[in-house]
Copies of this chain bind each other. A is one copy, B any other.
Protein backbone atom coordinates (compact mmCIF):
# COMPACT_ATOMS: atom_id res chain seq x y z
CA UNK A 1 0.00 0.00 0.00
CA UNK A 2 1.21 3.54 -0.76
CA UNK A 3 0.11 6.82 0.79
CA UNK A 4 -1.82 7.71 -2.37
CA UNK A 5 -4.10 4.74 -1.75
CA UNK A 6 -5.29 5.97 1.65
CA UNK A 7 -8.86 7.21 1.25
CA UNK A 8 -9.32 10.98 1.48
CA UNK A 9 -11.78 10.44 4.33
CA UNK A 10 -9.23 8.58 6.43
CA UNK A 11 -6.31 10.94 5.73
CA UNK A 12 -6.89 13.57 8.44
CA UNK A 13 -7.09 10.89 11.16
CA UNK A 14 -4.07 9.04 9.81
CA UNK A 15 -2.07 12.29 9.66
CA UNK A 16 -2.91 13.39 13.20
CA UNK A 17 -2.13 9.92 14.57
CA UNK A 18 1.22 9.90 12.77
CA UNK A 19 2.11 13.37 14.01
CA UNK A 20 1.53 12.17 17.59
CA UNK A 21 4.19 9.51 17.02
CA UNK A 22 6.72 11.60 15.10
CA UNK A 23 8.68 12.67 18.20
CA UNK A 24 9.96 9.06 18.31
CA UNK A 25 8.52 8.23 21.73
CA UNK A 26 6.60 4.93 21.52
CA UNK A 27 3.00 5.32 22.73
CA UNK A 28 0.09 3.11 23.73
CA UNK A 29 -3.33 3.21 22.08
CA UNK A 30 -4.76 4.94 25.16
CA UNK A 31 -2.05 7.60 25.05
CA UNK A 32 -2.74 8.15 21.36
CA UNK A 33 -6.50 8.61 21.88
CA UNK A 34 -5.65 11.32 24.44
CA UNK A 35 -3.04 13.12 22.33
CA UNK A 36 -5.11 13.01 19.11
CA UNK A 37 -8.52 13.63 20.61
CA UNK A 38 -9.86 10.84 18.35
CA UNK A 39 -11.97 7.88 19.42
CA UNK A 40 -10.33 4.54 20.18
CA UNK A 41 -11.68 2.74 17.07
CA UNK A 42 -10.62 5.68 14.82
CA UNK A 43 -7.06 5.57 16.20
CA UNK A 44 -7.04 1.79 15.74
CA UNK A 45 -8.02 2.18 12.07
CA UNK A 46 -5.40 4.90 11.55
CA UNK A 47 -2.69 2.75 13.16
CA UNK A 48 -3.64 -0.18 10.93
CA UNK A 49 -3.14 2.05 7.88
CA UNK A 50 0.19 3.39 9.17
CA UNK A 51 1.43 -0.14 9.83
CA UNK A 52 0.37 -1.17 6.30
CA UNK A 53 2.29 1.85 5.00
CA UNK A 54 5.35 0.76 6.97
CA UNK A 55 5.82 4.02 8.86
CA UNK A 56 4.59 2.69 12.23
CA UNK A 57 5.19 -0.63 13.97
CA UNK A 58 3.70 -2.16 17.09
CA UNK A 59 6.60 -3.18 19.22
CA UNK A 60 7.23 -4.56 22.68
CA UNK A 61 4.43 -4.05 25.21
CA UNK A 62 4.83 -1.25 27.73
CA UNK A 63 6.42 -2.34 31.00
CA UNK A 64 4.14 -1.19 33.80
CA UNK A 65 5.64 -1.67 37.23
CA UNK A 66 3.19 -2.95 39.80
CA UNK A 67 0.27 -3.23 37.38
CA UNK A 68 -1.63 -6.41 36.72
CA UNK A 69 -3.24 -7.62 33.52
CA UNK A 70 -1.94 -7.74 29.96
CA UNK A 71 0.44 -4.83 29.30
CA UNK A 72 -0.64 -2.40 26.57
CA UNK A 73 0.98 -2.65 23.14
CA UNK A 74 3.38 0.20 22.19
CA UNK A 75 3.31 1.90 18.78
CA UNK A 76 6.47 3.43 17.33
CA UNK A 77 7.27 5.65 14.34
CA UNK A 78 9.71 3.93 11.93
CA UNK A 79 12.13 6.58 10.61
CA UNK A 80 13.80 3.78 8.63
CA UNK A 81 10.62 3.40 6.53
CA UNK A 82 12.10 5.77 3.97
CA UNK A 83 15.28 7.61 3.16
CA UNK A 84 16.10 11.13 2.02
CA UNK A 85 19.06 12.32 -0.01
CA UNK A 86 20.97 15.57 0.45
CA UNK A 87 23.47 16.74 -2.18
CA UNK A 88 26.06 19.49 -2.14
CA UNK A 89 27.23 20.14 -5.71
CA UNK A 90 30.27 22.33 -5.23
CA UNK A 91 33.11 23.71 -7.29
CA UNK A 92 35.69 21.19 -6.03
CA UNK A 93 33.62 18.33 -4.69
CA UNK A 94 30.24 16.71 -4.50
CA UNK A 95 28.95 15.56 -1.12
CA UNK A 96 26.03 13.14 -0.83
CA UNK A 97 24.32 12.35 2.46
CA UNK A 98 21.72 9.64 2.87
CA UNK A 99 19.54 9.93 5.96
CA UNK A 100 16.47 8.31 7.48
CA UNK A 101 13.19 10.18 8.02
CA UNK A 102 14.38 11.85 11.23
CA UNK A 103 17.63 12.93 9.60
CA UNK A 104 20.01 10.38 11.12
CA UNK A 105 22.84 9.84 8.65
CA UNK A 106 22.90 6.41 6.96
CA UNK A 107 25.83 7.02 4.62
CA UNK A 108 28.06 9.83 3.34
CA UNK A 109 30.30 10.12 0.29
CA UNK A 110 32.46 12.90 -1.07
CA UNK A 111 33.57 12.86 -4.70
CA UNK A 112 36.22 15.31 -5.94
CA UNK A 113 35.54 17.26 -9.11
CA UNK A 114 37.77 19.55 -11.14
CA UNK A 115 36.78 23.22 -10.95
CA UNK A 116 37.07 23.30 -14.74
CA UNK A 117 34.79 20.27 -15.29
CA UNK A 118 31.99 20.81 -17.78
CA UNK A 119 28.40 20.81 -16.57
CA UNK A 120 27.82 17.34 -18.02
CA UNK A 121 30.95 15.95 -16.36
CA UNK A 122 29.87 17.44 -13.05
CA UNK A 123 26.41 15.94 -13.39
CA UNK A 124 27.88 12.52 -14.19
CA UNK A 125 29.87 12.72 -10.94
CA UNK A 126 26.70 13.69 -9.05
CA UNK A 127 25.13 10.46 -10.36
CA UNK A 128 28.21 8.54 -9.24
CA UNK A 129 27.93 10.05 -5.76
CA UNK A 130 24.24 9.09 -5.57
CA UNK A 131 25.03 5.48 -6.58
CA UNK A 132 27.83 5.26 -4.02
CA UNK A 133 25.88 6.72 -1.11
CA UNK A 134 22.93 4.39 -1.75
CA UNK A 135 25.28 1.39 -1.97
CA UNK A 136 27.04 2.53 1.20
CA UNK A 137 23.79 2.16 3.16
CA UNK A 138 22.62 -0.88 1.24
CA UNK A 139 19.62 0.95 -0.22
CA UNK A 140 18.40 1.60 -3.72
CA UNK A 141 16.61 4.47 -5.43
CA UNK A 142 13.19 3.04 -4.58
CA UNK A 143 13.84 3.78 -0.89
CA UNK A 144 14.12 7.50 -1.55
CA UNK A 145 11.14 9.62 -0.46
CA UNK A 146 12.64 13.01 -1.32
CA UNK A 147 15.92 14.64 -2.31
CA UNK A 148 17.38 18.13 -2.31
CA UNK A 149 20.53 19.56 -3.83
CA UNK A 150 22.47 22.71 -3.05
CA UNK A 151 24.55 24.44 -5.67
CA UNK A 152 26.18 27.78 -6.23
CA UNK A 153 24.18 30.57 -7.86
CA UNK A 154 20.64 31.82 -8.13
CA UNK A 155 18.17 28.95 -8.54
CA UNK A 156 14.52 29.34 -9.54
CA UNK A 157 11.73 27.50 -7.67
CA UNK A 158 11.61 24.78 -10.30
CA UNK A 159 15.34 24.03 -10.01
CA UNK A 160 16.81 25.92 -12.97
CA UNK A 161 20.14 27.66 -12.30
CA UNK A 162 19.42 31.23 -13.35
CA UNK A 163 22.96 32.49 -12.80
CA UNK A 164 26.15 31.06 -11.37
CA UNK A 165 29.44 32.94 -11.33
CA UNK A 166 31.27 30.04 -9.69
CA UNK A 167 30.11 27.43 -12.20
CA UNK A 168 29.54 29.39 -15.42
CA UNK A 169 28.65 26.21 -17.32
CA UNK A 170 25.81 25.72 -14.81
CA UNK A 171 24.00 28.95 -15.77
CA UNK A 172 20.75 28.19 -17.58
CA UNK A 173 20.92 24.48 -16.75
CA UNK A 174 17.68 22.88 -15.57
CA UNK A 175 19.37 20.97 -12.77
CA UNK A 176 16.02 20.10 -11.17
CA UNK A 177 14.66 18.19 -14.15
CA UNK A 178 18.04 16.60 -14.86
CA UNK A 179 18.19 15.22 -11.32
CA UNK A 180 14.55 14.15 -11.44
CA UNK A 181 15.47 11.98 -14.42
CA UNK A 182 17.83 9.90 -12.22
CA UNK A 183 15.75 9.94 -9.06
CA UNK A 184 12.25 8.46 -8.60
CA UNK A 185 11.25 11.04 -5.94
CA UNK A 186 10.59 14.79 -5.66
CA UNK A 187 13.82 16.80 -5.99
CA UNK A 188 14.35 20.37 -4.84
CA UNK A 189 17.33 22.47 -5.93
CA UNK A 190 18.38 25.41 -3.79
CA UNK A 191 21.24 27.87 -3.46
CA UNK A 192 24.00 26.28 -1.38
CA UNK A 193 24.35 29.10 1.15
CA UNK A 194 20.58 29.00 1.70
CA UNK A 195 20.77 25.31 2.58
CA UNK A 196 23.75 25.86 4.87
CA UNK A 197 21.68 28.51 6.71
CA UNK A 198 18.88 25.95 7.10
CA UNK A 199 21.40 23.43 8.46
CA UNK A 200 22.66 25.93 11.06
CA UNK A 201 19.08 26.48 12.21
CA UNK A 202 18.47 22.74 12.38
CA UNK A 203 21.63 21.38 13.95
CA UNK A 204 24.24 24.12 14.07
CA UNK A 205 24.92 27.30 15.99
CA UNK A 206 21.60 28.95 15.01
CA UNK A 207 19.26 26.45 16.71
CA UNK A 208 16.36 28.40 18.20
CA UNK A 209 17.34 31.68 16.51
CA UNK A 210 14.82 32.94 13.96
CA UNK A 211 16.52 35.94 12.32
CA UNK A 212 19.89 34.83 11.00
CA UNK A 213 22.32 36.02 8.33
CA UNK A 214 24.55 33.14 7.27
CA UNK A 215 27.73 33.74 5.29
CA UNK A 216 29.33 30.88 3.41
CA UNK A 217 32.96 31.96 3.20
CA UNK A 218 35.72 30.24 1.31
CA UNK A 219 37.52 31.70 -1.69
CA UNK A 220 34.01 32.53 -2.88
CA UNK A 221 31.47 34.21 -0.64
CA UNK A 222 27.77 33.50 -0.52
CA UNK A 223 24.97 34.31 1.89
CA UNK A 224 21.66 32.90 3.02
CA UNK A 225 19.21 34.21 5.54
CA UNK A 226 16.38 33.14 7.78
CA UNK A 227 13.69 35.65 8.66
CA UNK A 228 11.09 34.64 11.20
CA UNK A 229 12.58 31.14 11.22
CA UNK A 230 12.00 30.67 7.49
CA UNK A 231 14.43 30.74 4.62
CA UNK A 232 14.20 34.10 2.86
CA UNK A 233 15.02 33.61 -0.84
CA UNK A 234 13.87 36.97 -2.16
CA UNK A 235 11.34 37.62 -4.91
CA UNK A 236 13.68 36.34 -7.63
CA UNK A 237 15.79 34.04 -5.45
CA UNK A 238 18.56 36.65 -5.35
CA UNK A 239 18.58 37.58 -1.64
CA UNK A 240 22.05 37.91 -0.09
CA UNK A 241 23.87 38.76 -3.34
CA UNK A 242 25.67 41.75 -1.81
CA UNK A 243 28.65 41.27 -4.12
CA UNK A 244 26.78 43.66 -6.41
CA UNK A 245 27.93 46.51 -4.13
CA UNK A 246 31.36 46.51 -5.70
CA UNK A 247 32.59 49.39 -3.53
CA UNK A 248 32.50 46.96 -0.58
CA UNK A 249 34.95 44.59 -2.36
CA UNK A 250 33.02 41.63 -0.94
CA UNK A 251 33.42 39.41 -4.01
CA UNK A 252 37.19 39.86 -4.04
CA UNK A 253 37.75 39.63 -0.28
CA UNK A 254 39.60 36.33 -0.61
CA UNK A 255 42.25 37.86 -2.87
CA UNK A 256 44.21 38.78 0.27
CA UNK A 257 44.44 35.10 1.15
CA UNK A 258 45.27 33.71 -2.26
CA UNK A 259 47.24 36.38 -4.08
CA UNK A 260 50.49 34.45 -3.69
CA UNK A 261 49.02 31.43 -5.43
CA UNK A 262 50.26 30.76 -8.96
CA UNK A 263 48.46 28.17 -11.01
CA UNK A 264 51.86 26.90 -12.08
CA UNK A 265 52.90 25.55 -8.71
CA UNK A 266 49.64 23.61 -8.49
CA UNK A 267 48.63 24.86 -5.07
CA UNK A 268 44.92 24.87 -4.49
CA UNK A 269 43.34 28.15 -3.33
CA UNK A 270 41.92 26.51 -0.21
CA UNK A 271 45.40 25.28 0.71
CA UNK A 272 46.83 28.74 0.13
CA UNK A 273 44.24 30.25 2.47
CA UNK A 274 44.97 27.61 5.14
CA UNK A 275 48.65 28.50 4.84
CA UNK A 276 47.94 32.23 5.37
CA UNK A 277 45.74 31.43 8.41
CA UNK A 278 48.44 29.17 9.84
CA UNK A 279 51.10 31.86 9.35
CA UNK A 280 48.85 34.45 11.04
CA UNK A 281 48.37 32.05 13.94
CA UNK A 282 52.19 31.77 14.18
CA UNK A 283 52.48 35.57 14.34
CA UNK A 284 53.71 36.34 10.81
CA UNK A 285 53.02 40.10 10.33
CA UNK A 286 52.28 39.89 6.59
CA UNK A 287 49.84 37.04 7.16
CA UNK A 288 48.14 38.87 10.05
CA UNK A 289 47.77 41.89 7.77
CA UNK A 290 46.31 39.72 4.99
CA UNK A 291 43.78 38.17 7.39
CA UNK A 292 42.82 41.64 8.67
CA UNK A 293 42.24 42.87 5.11
CA UNK A 294 40.20 39.79 4.26
CA UNK A 295 38.11 40.16 7.44
CA UNK A 296 37.57 43.85 6.66
CA UNK A 297 36.04 43.19 3.25
CA UNK A 298 34.16 40.11 4.45
CA UNK A 299 32.60 42.12 7.29
CA UNK A 300 31.72 45.05 5.01
CA UNK A 301 29.45 42.79 2.97
CA UNK A 302 28.05 41.22 6.13
CA UNK A 303 27.36 44.75 7.44
CA UNK A 304 25.27 45.57 4.35
CA UNK A 305 23.02 42.63 5.22
CA UNK A 306 23.05 43.30 8.96
CA UNK A 307 22.13 46.98 8.53
CA UNK A 308 19.32 45.96 6.18
CA UNK A 309 17.63 43.19 8.20
CA UNK A 310 19.07 43.61 11.74
CA UNK A 311 19.37 39.89 12.50
CA UNK A 312 19.81 38.42 15.97
CA UNK A 313 22.79 36.36 14.83
CA UNK A 314 25.41 36.24 12.08
CA UNK A 315 26.88 32.81 11.34
CA UNK A 316 30.17 32.50 9.49
CA UNK A 317 30.51 29.12 7.81
CA UNK A 318 32.38 27.48 4.94
CA UNK A 319 36.12 26.82 4.86
CA UNK A 320 36.89 30.05 6.70
CA UNK A 321 35.09 28.76 9.79
CA UNK A 322 38.13 26.54 10.43
CA UNK A 323 40.13 29.72 11.03
CA UNK A 324 37.69 31.04 13.63
CA UNK A 325 40.56 31.73 16.05
CA UNK A 326 42.17 34.27 13.74
CA UNK A 327 39.14 35.57 11.85
CA UNK A 328 36.43 36.16 14.48
CA UNK A 329 38.06 39.13 16.18
CA UNK A 330 38.69 41.31 13.13
CA UNK A 331 35.24 40.49 11.69
CA UNK A 332 33.47 41.47 14.92
CA UNK A 333 35.59 44.62 15.25
CA UNK A 334 34.60 45.76 11.77
CA UNK A 335 30.91 44.94 12.38
CA UNK A 336 30.94 46.97 15.59
CA UNK A 337 32.38 49.91 13.66
CA UNK A 338 29.70 49.78 10.93
CA UNK A 339 26.51 48.51 12.54
CA UNK A 340 23.96 50.54 14.47
CA UNK A 341 23.18 47.43 16.54
CA UNK A 342 26.02 44.94 16.14
CA UNK A 343 24.66 41.38 16.12
CA UNK A 344 26.03 38.33 17.88
CA UNK A 345 28.51 36.46 15.64
CA UNK A 346 28.98 32.68 15.76
CA UNK A 347 31.24 30.43 13.74
CA UNK A 348 29.78 27.28 12.19
CA UNK A 349 30.84 23.90 13.55
CA UNK A 350 29.25 21.93 10.69
CA UNK A 351 32.45 22.17 8.65
CA UNK A 352 32.08 21.00 5.04
CA UNK A 353 28.85 19.11 5.72
CA UNK A 354 26.60 22.16 6.15
CA UNK A 355 25.17 22.34 2.62
CA UNK A 356 24.45 18.60 2.31
CA UNK A 357 22.93 18.59 5.80
CA UNK A 358 20.70 21.53 4.86
CA UNK A 359 19.68 19.57 1.77
CA UNK A 360 18.71 16.62 3.98
CA UNK A 361 16.62 18.99 6.13
CA UNK A 362 14.96 20.43 2.99
CA UNK A 363 14.10 16.91 1.81
CA UNK A 364 12.64 16.03 5.23
CA UNK A 365 10.58 19.25 5.13
CA UNK A 366 9.17 18.07 1.82
CA UNK A 367 8.23 14.73 3.38
CA UNK A 368 6.61 16.49 6.36
CA UNK A 369 4.64 18.94 4.23
CA UNK A 370 3.61 16.76 1.32
CA UNK A 371 3.66 13.19 2.48
CA UNK A 372 3.06 13.12 6.25
CA UNK A 373 0.29 15.67 6.06
CA UNK A 374 -1.41 13.36 3.55
Listed in ascending order, the chain A residues whose CB lies under 8 Å from chain B are 154, 163, 211, 225, 227-228, 230, 232-248, 300, 303-305, 307-312, 338-341, 343
Copies of the chain in the assembly:
2
* Inter-subunit contact A242/B343 (CB<8 Å): no
User: Which listed residue, B211, B239, B247, B341, touches A310 by the CB 8 Å rule?
Assistant: B239
A236 to B239, CA, bound (A): 21
B248 touches A312 (CB 8 A): no
Q: Is the CB of B304 within 8 A of A238?
A: no
Give Cα A138 to B113, complex, Å: 76
4 A-B pairs with the lowest CB-CB distances in the bound complex, closest first: A234-B310, A308-B308, A235-B312, A236-B341
Q: Which residues of B contact A230 (CB under 8 A)?
A: 228
What's the nearest-Cβ distance from chain B to residue A54, in Å? 37
Task: Give CA–CA (A233, B309) in the complex, Å.
Answer: 8
Flag if B211 contacts A244 (CB, 8 Å).
no
Indicate if the CB atoms of A311 and B245 lie closer than 8 Å. no
Contacting pair A310 B235 (CB below 8 A): yes
| Complex CA–CA separation, A240 to B307 (angstroms) | 6
Once the chains are docked, how many angstroms separate the CA of A240 from the CA of B309? 6
Whether A227 lies near B235 (C-beta < 8 A) is: no
Q: A239-B308, A245-B307, A247-B247 are in contact. List 13 more A-B contacts (CB 8 A).
A: A154-B341, A225-B308, A232-B309, A236-B310, A236-B341, A238-B307, A238-B340, A240-B308, A242-B307, A244-B307, A245-B303, A304-B308, A308-B308
Q: Are B235 and A211 in contact (CB under 8 A)?
A: yes
Q: How distant is the Cα of A310 from the Cα of B194 in the complex, in angstroms? A: 14
Smallest distance from the beta carbon of A200 to chain B beta carbons, Å? 16
Interface centre among A154, A300, A310 (most CB of B within 10 A): A310
Q: Which B-chain residue is minimally distant from A304 (CB atoms)?
A: B304
Q: Which residues of B contact A343 (CB under 8 A)?
A: 235
Please name all residues of chain B whose beta carbon is closer than 8 Å to the beta carbon of A163 when the two chains form the complex. 340
Q: Do B154 and A340 have beta carbons less than 8 Å apart?
A: yes
- Give the docked Cα–Cα distance between A310 and B308 (Å): 11
Q: Which of B248, B308, B311 contacts A247 (CB 8 A)?
A: B248
A342 to chain B, nearest CB (A): 10
Among B228, B300, B307, the residue within 8 A (CB) of A228 is: B228
